[in-house]
Structure 1
Amino acid sequence: MNNPKSGESGIWWHEENKGPLEKIPFFKQFGSMKFSKVRMDDNMRPHLNDGIEIHFIESGRYDWVFEDKSVELFPDDLSITAPWHWNGSPAGKMDMGQINWIILKPEKFSPEEPLDLGLWSNLTYTFQMRLGEMIAGEKGIVIRKAKAFKKYFVGIRNELMEQKPCYEIIVVNLLENLLIDLHRHLTSRRQKLNEEDSFIYKLENMVTEDLTNKWAVESLAENFGMGKTKFTEKVKRLTGYPPNSYIINLKIEKAKEMMRKDPFCSLSEVAYSCGFSSLQHFTSSFSQRTGSTPGKFQGGSGKRHF
């Protein structure tokens, strides 16, 4: 396809224009489009496909949604969705750049059924099941700086365009290698996420078990075998807050919990139990972070007990 008038060029094979995909029936779509100007395209609006959808961004920046999650896709980003995950550009707006995509239709794959690619693949059942679990486990996955995957899209694109003898065999090999690489990345990613979840869980438990303790960042960092700077950077990256601010948020969440359980409890006691230096400190911190005073949260002046 080459249509300079509309500001796009590239290839797109699909159900109504199968081209070389005719010999590879499980390969539902392959697209590699370059946009030289911003344009609207209804095909790129949030949609469902009957296959695993994989996008690779070669250049440009794209606003995207996965179910109810908004993301930005940048060059060398790879995204993956299961057949039941809505994904696409919320406005159908395609910015200048180049985007590639693959849609593979498995023999079986649903929230209730493990991934079964079909007879075309020599990948083991266990491998397919684990890969399917990782893809299904999130509402759309984005792997940042995934430049290593570019070679698969370039190789598949070249094979489909040239259609040399046995091109379909080479395409299958490229797809399997892509899926193997994807499995490795997602496994490593899952391990990292589990480690990060464990880090936050440990930090939260440590702080909430003794909210009255005047936690020093240096002391907390030592408990994790880290220096102050590295610890601060990690907490901020995972929570969005530096350690001291995150600790105040934990104190406020505990205060909310106490007030929900007992609408008539003393706010002074709540402040003390949650480690605030005074009722005034508690009130100002609570108001700053919630937009409401503790008294209003508790249910009105008639229920406040100082």
Structure 2
Amino acid sequence: MLDLFRKGQVELDESLIVNLRTVEIFLDHLRTDFERHWTLDEMAGHCGMDITSLTKYCKQLSNLTPINYLIKIRLEAAAKMLLDDEDKGVGEISYDCGFSSSQYFATRFRKQYAVSPKDYRANLLLAKK
């Protein structure tokens, strides 16, 4: 393989580059469309590829599956909203960020931030003062 590289006889598969770029663009798009109730099928269809390919490229780019990447984005948005929108309740924020269950949101939030959403808000608001 090294000899092929040295001789410059390696042919690049352009479709792999295009597919990787397509998934990269889609992941950027998710940052602004995270509240939508995405399914894995919809994600793959949006990229014009099958689920296996989407998952492979997503893992290459983010080290996460597409669904886990989406959850990560939702949790980041929720953490920001917990601080910026003090008048909104935790349940409302969870739904605004695309979670269908406030209990699931709280479980995933606690797993990501090692604290409940309510305590996260209280601790950071205290630190602000």
Distance 1:258 1:149, change over 3 A: same
Q: Report the counterpart of residue 148 of structure 1 in structure 2.
A: 3
Q: 1:5 matched to which residue of 2? A: none
Conserved 8 A contact 2:26-2:47? no
For residue 197 of structure 1, report the CA deviation from its aligned partner: 5.8
Q: Tell me how far 1:287 sits from its aligned partner.
A: 0.7
* Cα displacement string for residues 225-245 of structure 1 (whole angstroms, at most 9, x for unaligned residues): 111111111112211111111
What SS class does the counterpart of residue 241 from structure 1 fall into?
coil
| Greater strand fraction, Structure 1 or Structure 2 | 1
What is the number of residues matched between the two proteins?
119
CA gap of 1:233–1:198, structure 2 versus 1, over 3 A, is: closer
Structure 2 segments unaligned to the other structure (5+ residues)? none
Of residues 180, 199, 204, the one that matches 2:28 is 204
8 Å CA contact 1:208–1:250 kept in 2: the answer is no
Q: Contact 1:263–1:299 at 8 Å: present in 2 too?
A: no
The structural deviation recorded for 1:210 is 4.9
Q: Is the CA contact (8 Å cut-off) linking 1:271 and 1:279 kept in structure 2? A: yes
1:292/1:274 Cα in 2 relative to 1: closer, same or farther (>3 Å)? same
Identity over the aligned pairs, expressed in percent? 24
Is the aligned partner of 1:267 residue 2:122?
no
* CA deviation after TM superposition for structure 1 residue 283, in Å: 0.6
Q: 1 or 2 for the larger relative contact order (CA 8 Å, sep ≥6)?
A: 2
Q: 5+ unaligned residues in a row in structure 1: which ranges? A: 1-145, 153-183
Distance 1:243 1:202, change over 3 A: closer
- Deviation track 1:93-134 (CA, whole Å, cap 9, x = no partner) reads xxxxxxxxxxxxxxxxxxxxxxxxxxxxxxxxxxxxxxxxxx
| TM-score in terms of structure 1 length | 0.34
Q: Secondary structure at the match of 1:256?
A: helix
Closer/same/farther in 2, CA of residues 197 and 245 from structure 1, 3 Å limit: same
Q: Describe the superposition over 1:45-93 as per-residue Cα deviations: whole angstroms up to 9, x where unpaired.
A: xxxxxxxxxxxxxxxxxxxxxxxxxxxxxxxxxxxxxxxxxxxxxxxxx
* Greater Cα offset, 217-226 or 291-300: 291-300
1:115-154 superposed matches below 5 A: 147-148=2-3
* 2:76 alignment counterpart: 253
Match of 2:101 among 278, 293, 298: 278
1:214 corresponding residue in structure 2: 37
Quote the offset at 1:250 in angstroms.
Answer: 1.1
Question: What is the correspondence of 1:26-105 to structure 2 with a 5 Å cutoff?
Answer: none
Contact 1:204 1:250 in 2 (8 A): no
The one-letter code of the counterpart of 1:232 is T
Change in 2 beyond 3 A, CA 1:149/1:296? farther
- Determine the structure 2 residue equivalent to 1:237: 60
Query: Larger % of helix: which?
Result: 2
Distance in 2 of aligned mates of 1:263 and 1:276: 19
